[in-house]
Amino acid sequence: MNFQGEVVNIHSFDGQTVWLTKNTELFEVGNFLGGGAAGNVYECEHVPSLEHYALKVLNPIGFKILSSTLLRKCNVVIKGKVMCDTEKSNDTISIENVWWLLSSTKQYITAYFSERYNSLRELSLTQCIQIWGSEPVLVDEEDAVGYNMEFLPISKGSKTFVPSIPPKFADFVRRRNRIFREITNMHKIDSHVNVIRLEGVLELTQDSKCTVFLVMELANGGELFDRIKLDCGAREDTADFFFQQLLRGVKHCHDQGVCHRDLKPEVVFCHKLS
């Protein structure tokens, strides 16, 4: 199995099964292999092929949604069209449905007026992606404002400034981009025998968060840390064997212009010796 750099959007993850669609299993998740600041790693089985991999579930990228009560306290800058989101309606949201609000702290918020609930509701992450796409063009991250401004009409002959992209969504996109820059670096170095191979990337987008899954080569011999005996260390020939492999892997990373920055026995994994 190799997705060849393609990001696969999945339907759901219930803690045990990764579902490609509502009725199609992609991975069965098994033993917990370890965890860290970025997320947790599990052994998993690719259901179609029965092959085993390591699945790293990264910490979700959050997208906090304000309640309707808090939205009612905001000032309306631009009114959009009412959203016909009744149970029988299949209408998707569009830019014409967007309301621009300004909070008491002068933060721009995007919302829509729901016909079903008869109230304002903040745009969810999935709705923002529907309108602006998953990879909108942003201004430089070092920009003090953090988003472009543009003129939009508020009434006949009158215009006002609002962001071209909701600031909260722009912040989400930047955080997601940082993760995918790291994934690009992983693809650069995954062709070496002493580097864990990245097989593919999965993404689960929900209304208030996005979760990225890394499907990796399974090194089922455990962490190098477990090979070092407490208060004793490792035998010289064992240490030499693993240290040479570590140096070869690090050299390959450096040759590709990638620096690891967090090398330690807990993040070095071993294959079972045959």
Note down the domain range covering 112.
Answer: 68-172
Q: Are residues 163 and 230 in the same domain?
A: no
107 lies in a domain? yes
Q: Are residues 79 and 161 in the same domain?
A: yes
Q: Are residues 160 and 246 in the same domain?
A: no
Spatial distance between the Cα atoms of 246 and 193, rounded to a whole number of angstroms: 11
Q: Are residues 85 and 154 in the same domain?
A: yes
Q: Are residues 163 and 236 in the same domain?
A: no
191 lies in a domain? no
pLDDT of residue 85: 79
Number of domains in the chain: 2
Q: Are residues 155 and 245 in the same domain?
A: no
Domain boundary among 156, 172, 188: 172
21 lies in a domain? no
pLDDT of residue 144: 37
5 lies in a domain? no
pLDDT tens digit at each of 274 positions of the chain: 555 568 999 999 999 999 999 999 999 999 998 888 889 999 999 999 999 999 999 999 999 999 999 999 999 998 999 998 775 555 689 999 999 999 999 899 999 999 888 999 999 999 999 999 988 887 654 443 444 556 565 555 566 778 888 999 999 999 999 999 999 988 888 788 888 889 999 999 999 999 999 999 998 766 666 667 766 777 788 778 778 888 888 888 888 888 877 777 666 666 654 4
The β-bridge relationship of strands 17-21 and 12-13 is: antiparallel
pTM of the model: 0.83
Residues 6+ apart with CB under 8 A from 272: 220, 221
Spatial distance between the Cα atoms of 141 and 147, rounded to a whole number of angstroms: 9
Domain boundary among 132, 155, 172: 172
53 lies in a domain? no
116 lies in a domain? yes
Domain boundary among 111, 138, 172: 172
Q: Are residues 232 and 162 in the same domain?
A: no
* Residue 267, token pair as written in the block: 């993040």
DSSP state letter for 225: G
269 lies in a domain? yes
DSSP state letter for 233: B
25 lies in a domain? no
9: which strand partners? 203
